[in-house]
Amino acid sequence: MQIREIAVTNPLGLHARASAKIVHAASRFRCSVSLVVDGRRASARSLLALMLLSASAGTMVKLEVDGPEEAAAMRAITALFQDGL
């Protein structure tokens, strides 16, 4: 299992389009991907669950990845956050 804390840099936070990019990226890998904000966990494969996290700009998100392709998934999703979603 890999865990990394990432800040939401998008000025609009995890809105619908940003969440959709995460869902698309997470769905490409054979592993479990979760985002945790203030103790609330959401599957990165669920658009609605990600949006319900209500992560605004500057929020620290814990990215948890576990499975056979966890390294590649971690790189891809971290890159999304670093590029501002």
Residues forming the active site: 15
How far apart, in Å, are the Cα atoms of 41 and each of 53, 60, 64?
8, 13, 10
Question: Furthest-apart CA pair in the chain: how many Å?
Answer: 33
Torsion of CA 49, 55, 56, 57, to 10 degrees: -120
